[in-house]
């Protein structure tokens, strides 16, 4: 009876506990590894197990202390070790608290159970026949617990009960564990299948989202296609509207349109095209075949545009005014426009165009051109007609052309003397005379007031007649011409130019104008004068230098060279006492340009002050280099234009710069030319006095060439005279010049002025000047103008101990 009671008790107790675990797994399958933690599961299992143990004790059925081992085993198998330890510890605490059980026995039993359960979990549970191994493991756990209890607590009442019912209890315990584990495993399998289904569901939902996205894209594409279709439909409607509009335009247009396909020889001619040539629309095929025959020979070349792509211009568009005969043979003017389509192989594919009736407009245009091409005063052809005629014959004629002017010299002055009415009558008479003399072999026009242009078409054939005509006309106008009871005295000029090909009309007229200017400047009257290339090149040269001069002033392209000024000491030695700053300009095409050229141009342009300031700035900079090298008594002379001397503002800036330079120990003097200031001595005297007040030395260059009087020379605030090189060159060959040089030296001494002889190039010149008492020199015999670095080298080396050593060095 005790065994049966024990079996029932064990079955009841273990069944409840195992059912608890089973129900936990069955009804919370999705929270096994997600929502619940091992602590929550363990606390829940432990609380229910203690509740059942209390319930069993209260019903006095039987002590179920061994239920803790069942929970430990099942929790380890079904959950994990952490989940099993919490309820097991709670049950142990309850047993120790209520029944005062043996602590050591409980600890040992627990440890054995954990070890055996973990070994089984890792090595036997997932192998074949795991349920048999689970039953054996349960029996081993029971036996190990009984043995440990017998060893540790031999007086435990539990042992007596086990002795009576050990086999039955262990068997029941093992069977229930195996059964429950089977159920739990099935539930776990079901749970895994459910999870797989959930994962499959999520995959399906993801695929569904992708399908929905794809559907949206398809829908979007459908909408786009629909929109494109609507757009195409709108374009189709517009195209139909445009076609109708173009049809109406073609019907209402004044132009006749055509379309031609060279490959198939197919023509399309609009109704208006046929009407313009007096054909009916039904005769369009006939007109397409014959309409090239309606053109005169001068326009036959247009037929080539319909047969070859080679004749078309690059833009493949032509527009011509041509004459076409209508059906009755009357020639009418049409504006012919055409456009070509050419493929990649340069084959003509299509020609499309139109013709427009401009016959009436052409007639009116000819009337306008008549009035446009005639001089209103004389009625003769004007310069525009002359130019157009020249262009025409230059393009079509292979014969030589000669163009010349018949021009009244000093026409403006004659207009002032005799009056407009008389001179216009003179011009009209001259035009009639030109017509009578040259009209048989030339074309003439009024170019401008007082000038007629004559175009000789066959120069070789009519050149002698041309020369005779010029001589006749020249002799006729050498005598006074009687007009309105006034005898007008005038002379004629005959500049001419021979066309040589590859020249424009503008070029020819410019060169004729240049030649006319040359005749007027040089008084070359009464004879034919050909175009002078030397004169033209000089003018071109001056023009290019003028343009480059502005660039050089903006970019400061001027170079400054320094020619040393030499002093002869009493012991026969020579030394450098100063330099003259000489400006130079290098042109990229013409090379080094003479100062005589660009200085004069700068004075004409009113820009000379900028060049003078550039030279002054560079000279002061060179003076700093001289002072830095220890040469403090070396002066620098800078040329100043007479134009600057007329401008007080320019003089003030020059004086300020020189005064500031002197504060740095730099000695700067200005140099002026006698020939330039001789005409303006009164105007520049005040500004020259300003230099004297600022203690700035003034050197008078080219002395003897300016024809200034001695009284003017005495009044000028100068400190140095420079004898011009023309006197130095001439004194060795002419005794009068030699005497004049000696007089100049004496004059300088009497006026207490320093004298520098320029242009020393030979030893004989130097010796003669020393004999006259001259001690200051400048010229190529000593040194040419030098760059800054070369001038510094000359200062360091010296000019030489005596003249003859220096002479041998130079040679």
**Residue 802 has what pLDDT?**
38
pLDDT band for position 178 (cuts 50, 70, 90)? low
Q: Which of 136-145, 214-223, 796-805 has the highest mean pLDDT?
A: 214-223
Lowest-pLDDT range, 33-37, 333-337, 537-541, 651-655? 33-37
As a whole number of angstroms, the distance between CA 66 and CA 790 comes to 123
Q: What is the mean pLDDT of residues 717-725?
A: 87
pLDDT digits (tens, 9 = 90+) for 653-677: 988 998 998 888 888 898 888 766 7
Lowest-pLDDT range, 14-23, 166-175, 291-300, 781-790? 166-175
pLDDT band for position 136 (cuts 50, 70, 90)? low
pLDDT band for position 1 (cuts 50, 70, 90)? very low
Task: Please check whether residue 276 is in contact with residue 256, taking contact to mean a CB–CB distance below 8 angstroms.
Answer: yes
Task: Please check whether residue 688 is in contact with residue 716, taking contact to mean a CB–CB distance below 8 angstroms.
Answer: yes
Percentage of residues of the chain with pLDDT beyond 90:
3
**Residue 786 has what pLDDT?**
92
Q: How many residues are there in the chain? A: 811
Q: What is the mean pLDDT of residues 618-641?
A: 87
Percentage of residues of the chain with pLDDT beyond 70:
73
pLDDT band for position 33 (cuts 50, 70, 90)? very low
As a whole number of angstroms, the distance between CA 290 and CA 284 comes to 10
More confident call, 540 vs 222: 222
**Residue 158 has what pLDDT?**
54
- With a cut of 60, say whether residue 110 has pLDDT above it: yes
Lowest-pLDDT range, 158-162, 583-587, 632-636? 158-162
**Residue 93 has what pLDDT?**
74
pTM higher than 0.85 for the full model? no
**Residue 225 has what pLDDT?**
84
**Residue 366 has what pLDDT?**
67
**Residue 165 has what pLDDT?**
47
pLDDT digits (tens, 9 = 90+) for 140-154: 766 776 676 666 666
Tokens representing 326?
């209508």
Neighbours of 10 (CB within 10 A): 23
558: left (phi over 0), alpha (psi -120 to 50) or beta: beta
As a whole number of angstroms, the distance between CA 421 and CA 427 comes to 10
Tokens representing 536?
């033209």
More confident call, 311 vs 544: 311
Compute and round to an integer the Cα radius of gyration of the chain: 63
As a whole number of angstroms, the distance between CA 706 and CA 723 comes to 11
Task: Please check whether residue 57 is in contact with residue 63, taking contact to mean a CB–CB distance below 8 angstroms.
Answer: yes
**Residue 756 has what pLDDT?**
92
Neighbours of 473 (CB within 10 A): 20
Q: What is the mean pLDDT of residues 421-447?
A: 81
pLDDT digits (tens, 9 = 90+) for 596-629: 777 777 777 777 888 888 888 998 999 888 888 8
**Residue 564 has what pLDDT?**
93
DSSP letters spanning 598-649: HHHHHHHHT-HHHHHHHHHHHHHHHHHHHHHTT--S-EEEEE--HHHHT-HH
- With a cut of 60, say whether residue 791 has pLDDT above it: yes
Report the SS3 class of residue 284. helix
By CB atoms closer than 10 A (0-12, 13-18, 19+), residue 316 is middle
pLDDT digits (tens, 9 = 90+) for 239-275: 777 666 666 655 556 788 888 888 888 888 888 888 8
Task: Please check whether residue 167 is in contact with residue 3, taking contact to mean a CB–CB distance below 8 angstroms.
Answer: no
More confident call, 81 vs 187: 81
787: left (phi over 0), alpha (psi -120 to 50) or beta: beta
**Residue 252 has what pLDDT?**
59
- With a cut of 80, say whether residue 745 has pLDDT above it: yes
As a whole number of angstroms, the distance between CA 269 and CA 776 comes to 98
**Residue 332 has what pLDDT?**
86
pLDDT digits (tens, 9 = 90+) for 195-214: 788 888 888 888 888 888 88
pLDDT digits (tens, 9 = 90+) for 350-402: 999 888 888 887 777 766 666 666 666 666 777 777 777 777 777 766 566 78
**Residue 760 has what pLDDT?**
92
């Amino acid at each position: 009876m005790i065994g049966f009671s024990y079996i029932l008790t064990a079955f009841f107790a273990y069944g409840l506990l195992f059912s608890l675990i089973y129900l936990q797994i069955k009804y919370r399958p999705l929270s096994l590894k997600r929502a619940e933690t091992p602590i929550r599961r363990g606390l829940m299992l432990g609380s229910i197990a203690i509740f059942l143990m209390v319930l069993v004790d209260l019903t006095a059925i039987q002590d179920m202390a061994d239920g803790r081992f069942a929970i430990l085993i099942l929790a380890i198998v079904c959950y994990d070790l952490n989940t099993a330890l919490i309820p097991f510890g709670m049950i142990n605490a309850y047993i120790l608290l209520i029944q005062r059980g043996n602590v050591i026995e409980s600890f040992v039993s627990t440890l054995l159970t954990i070890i055996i359960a973990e070994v089984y979990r890792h090595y036997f549970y997932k192998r074949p026949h795991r349920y048999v191994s689970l039953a054996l493991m349960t029996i081993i756990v029971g036996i190990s617990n009984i043995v440990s209890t017998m060893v540790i607590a031999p007086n435990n009442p539990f042992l007596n009960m086990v002795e009576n019912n050990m086999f039955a209890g262990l068997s029941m315990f093992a069977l229930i564990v195996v059964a429950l584990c089977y159920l739990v495993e099935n539930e776990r399998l079901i749970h895994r299948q459910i999870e797989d289904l959930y994962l499959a569901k999520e995959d399906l939902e993801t695929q569904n989202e992708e399908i929905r996205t794809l559907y949206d894209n398809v829908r979007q594409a459908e909408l786009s296609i629909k929109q494109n279709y609507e757009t195409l439909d709108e374009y189709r409607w517009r195209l139909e509207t445009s076609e109708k509009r173009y049809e109406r335009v073609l019907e209402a247009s004044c132009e006749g349109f055509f379309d031609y396909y060279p490959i198939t020889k197919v023509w399309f001619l609009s109704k208006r095209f046929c009407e313009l040539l007096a054909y009916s629309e039904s005769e369009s095929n006939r007109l397409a075949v014959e309409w090239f025959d309606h053109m005169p020979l001068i326009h036959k070349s247009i037929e080539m545009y319909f047969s070859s792509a080679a004749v078309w211009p690059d833009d493949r568009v032509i527009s011509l005014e041509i004459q076409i005969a209508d059906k009755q043979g009357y020639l009418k003017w049409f504006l012919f426009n055409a456009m070509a389509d050419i493929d990649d192989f340069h084959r003509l594919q299509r020609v499309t165009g139109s013709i427009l009736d401009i016959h009436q407009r052409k007639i009116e245009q000819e009337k306008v051109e008549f009035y446009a091409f005639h001089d209103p005063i004389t009625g003769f052809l004007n310069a525009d007609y002359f130019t157009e005629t020249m262009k025409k014959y230059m393009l079509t004629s292979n014969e030589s052309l000669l163009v010349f002017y018949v021009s009244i010299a000093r026409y403006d002055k004659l207009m002032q003397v005799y009056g407009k009415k008389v001179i216009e009558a003179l011009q009209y008479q001259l035009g009639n005379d030109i017509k009578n003399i040259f009209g048989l072999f030339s074309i003439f026009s009024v170019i401008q007031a007082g000038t007629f242009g004559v175009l000789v078409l066959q120069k070789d054939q009519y050149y002698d007649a041309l020369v005779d005509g010029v001589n006749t006309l020249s002799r006729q106008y050498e005598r006074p011409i009687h007009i309105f009871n006034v005898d007008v005295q005038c002379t004629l000029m005959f500049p001419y130019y021979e066309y040589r090909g590859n020249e424009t009309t503008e070029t020819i007229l410019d060169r004729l104008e240049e030649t006319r200017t040359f005749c007027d400047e040089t008084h070359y009257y009464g004879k034919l004068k050909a175009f002078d290339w030397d004169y033209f090149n000089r003018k071109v040269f001056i023009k290019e230098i003028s343009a480059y001069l502005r660039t050089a002033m903006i970019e400061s392209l001027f170079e400054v060279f320094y020619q040393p000024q030499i002093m002869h000491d009493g012991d026969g030695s020579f030394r450098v006492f100063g330099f003259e700053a000489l400006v130079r300009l290098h042109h990229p095409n013409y090379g080094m340009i003479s100062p005589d050229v660009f200085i004069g141009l700068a004075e004409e342009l009113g820009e000379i002050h900028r060049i003078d300031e550039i030279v002054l700035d560079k000279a002061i900079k060179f003076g700093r280099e001289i002072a830095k090298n220890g040469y403090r008594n070396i002066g620098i002379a800078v040329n100043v234009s007479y134009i600057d001397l007329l401008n007080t503002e320019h003089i003030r800036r020059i004086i300020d710069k020189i005064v500031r330079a002197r504060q740095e120990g730099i000695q700067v003097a200005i140099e002026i030319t006698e020939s330039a200031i001789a005409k303006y001595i009164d105007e520049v005297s005040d500004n020259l006095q300003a230099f004297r007040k600022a203690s700035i030395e003034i050197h008078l260059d080219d002395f003897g060439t300016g024809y200034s009087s001695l009284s003017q020379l005495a009044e000028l605030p100068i400190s140095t005279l420079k004898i011009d090189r023309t006197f130095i060159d001439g004194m060795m060959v002419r005794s009068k010049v030699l005497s004049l040089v000696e007089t100049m030296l004496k004059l300088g001494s009497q006026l207490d002025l320093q004298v520098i002889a320029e242009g020393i190039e030979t030893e004989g010149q130097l010796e003669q000047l020393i004999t006259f008492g001259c001690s200051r020199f400048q010229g190529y015999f000593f040194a040419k103008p030098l760059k800054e670095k070369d001038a510094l080298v000359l200062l360091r080396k010296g000019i030489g101990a005596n003249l003859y050593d220096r002479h041998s060095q130079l040679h």
